[in-house]
Structure 1
Amino acid sequence: MKALLALGIGGLLLAGCAAHPTQPESDQEYRVEWVGPRPLVGHSHVSMTFDGEGRAFGNAGCNHWFANYQMEGDKLTFSQPGSTRRMCAPAVMEQEQRFLALLGSVQRWDITEKGELRLWPETGRAIRMWPVD
Protein backbone atom coordinates (compact mmCIF):
# COMPACT_ATOMS: atom_id res chain seq x y z
CA MET A 1 0.00 0.00 0.00
CA LYS A 2 1.47 3.37 -1.00
CA ALA A 3 1.11 6.40 1.20
CA LEU A 4 -0.26 9.66 -0.20
CA LEU A 5 2.17 12.55 0.13
CA ALA A 6 0.93 16.17 0.00
CA LEU A 7 3.14 19.27 -0.06
CA GLY A 8 2.10 22.91 -0.15
CA ILE A 9 4.38 25.34 -2.01
CA GLY A 10 3.40 28.98 -2.55
CA GLY A 11 -0.30 28.25 -2.10
CA LEU A 12 -0.19 25.22 -4.43
CA LEU A 13 -0.96 21.75 -3.14
CA LEU A 14 1.14 19.05 -4.75
CA ALA A 15 0.21 15.41 -4.18
CA GLY A 16 1.89 12.15 -5.10
CA CYS A 17 2.73 8.69 -3.85
CA ALA A 18 5.57 8.07 -1.43
CA ALA A 19 8.46 6.27 -3.13
CA HIS A 20 8.29 2.99 -1.19
CA PRO A 21 7.51 1.46 2.20
CA THR A 22 10.18 1.60 4.90
CA GLN A 23 9.97 -2.12 5.67
CA PRO A 24 8.69 -5.29 4.00
CA GLU A 25 4.90 -5.30 4.12
CA SER A 26 2.88 -8.14 5.66
CA ASP A 27 0.74 -10.14 3.24
CA GLN A 28 2.44 -8.44 0.28
CA GLU A 29 3.71 -10.82 -2.38
CA TYR A 30 7.20 -10.00 -3.64
CA ARG A 31 8.42 -11.26 -7.03
CA VAL A 32 12.06 -12.36 -6.90
CA GLU A 33 14.08 -11.25 -9.93
CA TRP A 34 17.66 -12.11 -8.91
CA VAL A 35 18.96 -14.97 -6.78
CA GLY A 36 22.43 -13.86 -5.79
CA PRO A 37 24.49 -13.01 -8.88
CA ARG A 38 22.01 -14.42 -11.44
CA PRO A 39 18.63 -13.33 -12.84
CA LEU A 40 15.85 -15.92 -12.85
CA VAL A 41 15.85 -18.70 -15.41
CA GLY A 42 13.48 -18.12 -18.33
CA HIS A 43 9.87 -17.77 -17.27
CA SER A 44 10.29 -19.29 -13.80
CA HIS A 45 8.34 -17.69 -10.96
CA VAL A 46 9.97 -17.19 -7.53
CA SER A 47 8.03 -15.31 -4.86
CA MET A 48 7.98 -14.45 -1.17
CA THR A 49 5.26 -13.29 1.22
CA PHE A 50 5.78 -12.34 4.89
CA ASP A 51 2.65 -13.04 6.98
CA GLY A 52 3.57 -10.51 9.72
CA GLU A 53 3.50 -13.27 12.35
CA GLY A 54 6.86 -14.90 11.72
CA ARG A 55 6.04 -17.11 8.71
CA ALA A 56 7.22 -16.58 5.13
CA PHE A 57 6.18 -18.60 2.09
CA GLY A 58 6.04 -18.52 -1.67
CA ASN A 59 7.01 -20.27 -4.86
CA ALA A 60 10.65 -21.34 -5.28
CA GLY A 61 10.43 -21.77 -9.07
CA CYS A 62 9.07 -25.31 -9.11
CA ASN A 63 7.92 -26.02 -5.55
CA HIS A 64 6.11 -24.08 -2.86
CA TRP A 65 8.37 -23.15 0.07
CA PHE A 66 7.82 -22.03 3.68
CA ALA A 67 9.96 -20.96 6.63
CA ASN A 68 9.82 -19.10 9.91
CA TYR A 69 11.52 -15.72 10.06
CA GLN A 70 12.65 -13.23 12.70
CA MET A 71 12.97 -9.54 11.92
CA GLU A 72 14.43 -6.92 14.28
CA GLY A 73 15.25 -3.59 12.67
CA ASP A 74 17.27 -4.38 9.55
CA LYS A 75 18.23 -7.84 10.86
CA LEU A 76 16.41 -10.78 9.24
CA THR A 77 16.89 -14.51 9.62
CA PHE A 78 14.98 -17.50 8.30
CA SER A 79 14.68 -21.01 9.71
CA GLN A 80 15.65 -23.89 7.43
CA PRO A 81 13.09 -23.64 4.59
CA GLY A 82 10.84 -26.56 3.74
CA SER A 83 9.19 -27.19 0.39
CA THR A 84 7.00 -29.49 -1.62
CA ARG A 85 8.85 -32.11 -3.74
CA ARG A 86 7.90 -31.74 -7.40
CA MET A 87 10.55 -32.19 -10.09
CA CYS A 88 11.09 -29.62 -12.85
CA ALA A 89 13.69 -28.86 -15.49
CA PRO A 90 17.27 -29.17 -14.17
CA ALA A 91 18.02 -25.42 -14.55
CA VAL A 92 14.90 -24.50 -12.53
CA MET A 93 15.74 -27.10 -9.85
CA GLU A 94 19.30 -25.72 -9.54
CA GLN A 95 17.94 -22.18 -9.20
CA GLU A 96 15.43 -23.35 -6.58
CA GLN A 97 18.15 -25.04 -4.52
CA ARG A 98 20.30 -21.89 -4.74
CA PHE A 99 17.35 -19.72 -3.60
CA LEU A 100 16.51 -21.97 -0.63
CA ALA A 101 20.18 -22.16 0.41
CA LEU A 102 20.53 -18.37 0.24
CA LEU A 103 17.42 -17.93 2.40
CA GLY A 104 19.12 -19.90 5.15
CA SER A 105 22.08 -17.49 5.14
CA VAL A 106 20.13 -14.18 5.03
CA GLN A 107 21.20 -11.80 7.79
CA ARG A 108 19.70 -8.43 6.89
CA TRP A 109 17.38 -6.62 4.51
CA ASP A 110 17.03 -3.18 2.94
CA ILE A 111 14.79 -1.38 0.46
CA THR A 112 16.31 0.75 -2.30
CA GLU A 113 15.10 4.23 -3.20
CA LYS A 114 13.20 2.65 -6.11
CA GLY A 115 11.36 0.21 -3.80
CA GLU A 116 13.36 -2.97 -4.50
CA LEU A 117 13.52 -5.28 -1.45
CA ARG A 118 16.95 -6.90 -1.01
CA LEU A 119 17.75 -9.77 1.35
CA TRP A 120 21.48 -9.95 2.11
CA PRO A 121 23.18 -13.27 2.92
CA GLU A 122 26.28 -13.52 5.10
CA THR A 123 28.45 -13.25 1.98
CA GLY A 124 27.74 -12.53 -1.66
CA ARG A 125 24.99 -10.74 -3.50
CA ALA A 126 21.41 -10.14 -2.39
CA ILE A 127 18.17 -11.84 -3.29
CA ARG A 128 16.43 -8.97 -5.12
CA MET A 129 12.65 -8.62 -5.43
CA TRP A 130 9.79 -6.22 -6.15
CA PRO A 131 6.27 -5.96 -4.67
CA VAL A 132 3.56 -7.47 -6.89
CA ASP A 133 0.72 -5.01 -7.55
Structure 2
Amino acid sequence: MKRLTITALLLSSLFGCASQSDSATEAKTLDLQGNWHIEYIGDMPVIDYSPAKVMFQEEGKLSGNTSCNQFFGSYQQQGESLTISPAGTTMKACVDALMEQEQRTMQALSKVTQARMNKGRLEFLDQASGVVMILTKMD
Protein backbone atom coordinates (compact mmCIF):
# COMPACT_ATOMS: atom_id res chain seq x y z
CA MET A 1 0.00 0.00 0.00
CA LYS A 2 2.81 2.37 0.90
CA ARG A 3 4.52 1.65 -2.44
CA LEU A 4 1.28 2.40 -4.35
CA THR A 5 0.90 5.74 -2.54
CA ILE A 6 4.49 6.78 -3.32
CA THR A 7 4.06 5.76 -6.98
CA ALA A 8 0.84 7.76 -7.22
CA LEU A 9 2.54 10.82 -5.70
CA LEU A 10 5.47 10.55 -8.10
CA LEU A 11 3.19 10.22 -11.12
CA SER A 12 1.01 13.15 -10.08
CA SER A 13 4.07 15.35 -9.56
CA LEU A 14 5.42 14.38 -12.99
CA PHE A 15 2.13 15.17 -14.71
CA GLY A 16 1.85 18.38 -12.73
CA CYS A 17 5.30 19.49 -13.93
CA ALA A 18 4.49 18.59 -17.53
CA SER A 19 1.30 20.60 -17.58
CA GLN A 20 3.03 23.60 -15.98
CA SER A 21 5.76 23.60 -18.63
CA ASP A 22 3.15 23.20 -21.38
CA SER A 23 1.29 26.25 -20.07
CA ALA A 24 4.52 28.24 -19.93
CA THR A 25 5.29 27.28 -23.54
CA GLU A 26 1.81 28.27 -24.74
CA ALA A 27 2.05 31.64 -23.03
CA LYS A 28 5.43 32.43 -24.61
CA THR A 29 5.06 35.22 -27.14
CA LEU A 30 7.33 35.57 -30.18
CA ASP A 31 9.33 38.78 -30.31
CA LEU A 32 8.25 40.15 -33.67
CA GLN A 33 9.47 43.73 -33.29
CA GLY A 34 11.92 44.85 -35.93
CA ASN A 35 12.37 44.48 -39.69
CA TRP A 36 11.66 41.18 -41.43
CA HIS A 37 12.56 40.52 -45.08
CA ILE A 38 9.94 38.51 -46.95
CA GLU A 39 11.65 35.45 -48.45
CA TYR A 40 8.66 33.39 -49.64
CA ILE A 41 5.03 34.14 -50.35
CA GLY A 42 3.27 30.79 -50.27
CA ASP A 43 5.68 28.37 -51.91
CA MET A 44 7.19 30.97 -54.26
CA PRO A 45 10.39 32.87 -53.43
CA VAL A 46 10.27 36.63 -53.79
CA ILE A 47 12.00 38.24 -56.74
CA ASP A 48 15.76 38.71 -56.18
CA TYR A 49 16.66 42.01 -54.51
CA SER A 50 13.00 42.72 -53.82
CA PRO A 51 12.49 45.29 -51.04
CA ALA A 52 9.53 43.28 -49.68
CA LYS A 53 9.55 43.53 -45.89
CA VAL A 54 7.39 43.78 -42.80
CA MET A 55 8.26 46.01 -39.86
CA PHE A 56 6.59 45.28 -36.51
CA GLN A 57 6.63 48.33 -34.26
CA GLU A 58 5.55 49.01 -30.69
CA GLU A 59 1.91 49.33 -29.70
CA GLY A 60 0.68 47.04 -32.48
CA LYS A 61 1.75 49.23 -35.38
CA LEU A 62 2.87 47.66 -38.63
CA SER A 63 4.44 48.94 -41.83
CA GLY A 64 6.47 47.60 -44.70
CA ASN A 65 7.05 47.29 -48.39
CA THR A 66 4.98 45.00 -50.61
CA SER A 67 7.64 44.95 -53.38
CA CYS A 68 6.48 48.12 -55.06
CA ASN A 69 4.54 50.21 -52.54
CA GLN A 70 4.72 51.01 -48.84
CA PHE A 71 1.93 49.76 -46.57
CA PHE A 72 0.86 50.45 -43.02
CA GLY A 73 -1.58 48.98 -40.56
CA SER A 74 -1.77 47.18 -37.25
CA TYR A 75 -1.31 43.77 -35.72
CA GLN A 76 -2.48 41.89 -32.66
CA GLN A 77 -0.41 39.11 -31.14
CA GLN A 78 -1.09 36.69 -28.33
CA GLY A 79 1.29 33.74 -28.07
CA GLU A 80 1.50 32.30 -31.58
CA SER A 81 -1.84 33.83 -32.57
CA LEU A 82 -1.34 36.77 -34.93
CA THR A 83 -3.78 39.01 -36.79
CA ILE A 84 -2.47 41.49 -39.34
CA SER A 85 -4.71 44.32 -40.52
CA PRO A 86 -3.21 46.31 -43.41
CA ALA A 87 -4.91 49.73 -43.43
CA GLY A 88 -3.47 51.37 -46.53
CA THR A 89 -0.76 51.54 -49.16
CA THR A 90 0.90 54.02 -51.44
CA MET A 91 -0.28 53.72 -55.04
CA LYS A 92 2.73 53.86 -57.34
CA ALA A 93 3.03 51.66 -60.41
CA CYS A 94 5.91 49.24 -60.96
CA VAL A 95 6.91 46.57 -63.42
CA ASP A 96 4.33 43.81 -63.82
CA ALA A 97 6.33 41.16 -61.93
CA LEU A 98 6.61 43.37 -58.83
CA MET A 99 2.94 44.37 -59.05
CA GLU A 100 1.94 40.69 -59.13
CA GLN A 101 4.20 39.94 -56.18
CA GLU A 102 2.67 42.90 -54.34
CA GLN A 103 -0.84 41.45 -54.80
CA ARG A 104 0.31 38.07 -53.49
CA THR A 105 1.91 39.80 -50.48
CA MET A 106 -1.27 41.69 -49.54
CA GLN A 107 -3.42 38.57 -49.99
CA ALA A 108 -1.06 36.52 -47.82
CA LEU A 109 -0.95 39.15 -45.05
CA SER A 110 -4.73 39.18 -44.84
CA LYS A 111 -4.79 35.38 -44.29
CA VAL A 112 -2.33 35.30 -41.37
CA THR A 113 -3.71 33.80 -38.13
CA GLN A 114 -0.52 32.42 -36.53
CA ALA A 115 3.23 32.98 -36.41
CA ARG A 116 6.00 30.61 -35.42
CA MET A 117 9.76 30.37 -35.61
CA ASN A 118 11.16 27.47 -37.64
CA LYS A 119 14.91 27.06 -38.12
CA GLY A 120 15.57 30.75 -37.54
CA ARG A 121 12.85 31.93 -39.91
CA LEU A 122 9.51 33.49 -39.07
CA GLU A 123 6.58 31.65 -40.64
CA PHE A 124 3.13 33.17 -41.05
CA LEU A 125 0.37 30.57 -41.09
CA ASP A 126 -3.26 30.64 -42.21
CA GLN A 127 -6.31 29.17 -40.47
CA ALA A 128 -5.47 25.66 -41.77
CA SER A 129 -1.86 25.99 -40.46
CA GLY A 130 -0.53 26.31 -44.00
CA VAL A 131 2.52 28.51 -44.47
CA VAL A 132 1.54 31.69 -46.32
CA MET A 133 4.80 33.60 -45.87
CA ILE A 134 8.39 33.03 -44.67
CA LEU A 135 10.49 35.93 -43.37
CA THR A 136 14.01 36.45 -42.04
CA LYS A 137 15.11 39.04 -39.48
CA MET A 138 16.94 42.02 -40.99
CA ASP A 139 18.23 43.68 -37.79
Q: TM-score, normalised by structure 2?
A: 0.73
Deviation at 1:115, TM superposition (A): 1.4
Determine if contact 2:123/2:131 at 8 Å carries over to the other structure.
Answer: no
What CA distance in whole angstroms lies between the structure 2 residues aligned with 1:84 and 1:116?
Answer: 28
Aligned equivalents of 1:38, 1:119: Cα separation in 2: 14
Q: In the alignment, is residue 125 of structure 1 matched against residue 134 of structure 2?
A: no
- Which structure: greater helix fraction? 2
Q: Which residue of 2 aligns with 1:72?
A: 78
Does the 8 A contact of 2:71 with 2:86 survive in 1? no
Distance 1:51 1:34, change over 3 A: same
Q: Which runs of 4+ in 1 moved over 6 A?
A: none
Match of 1:49 in 2: 55
Task: Tell me the residue number matched to 2:111.
Answer: 105
In terms of fraction of residues, the more strand-rich structure is: 1
What value does the CA root-mean-square deviation take over the aligned residues? 1.5
Partner of residue 32, structure 2: 25
Unpaired runs of 5+ in structure 2? 1-28
Offset of 1:121 from its aligned partner?
A: 2.0
Aligned length: 110
Return the index of the structure with the highest Cα Rg: 2
- Percent identity, aligned pairs only, is 33
Q: Match for 1:92: what amino acid?
A: L
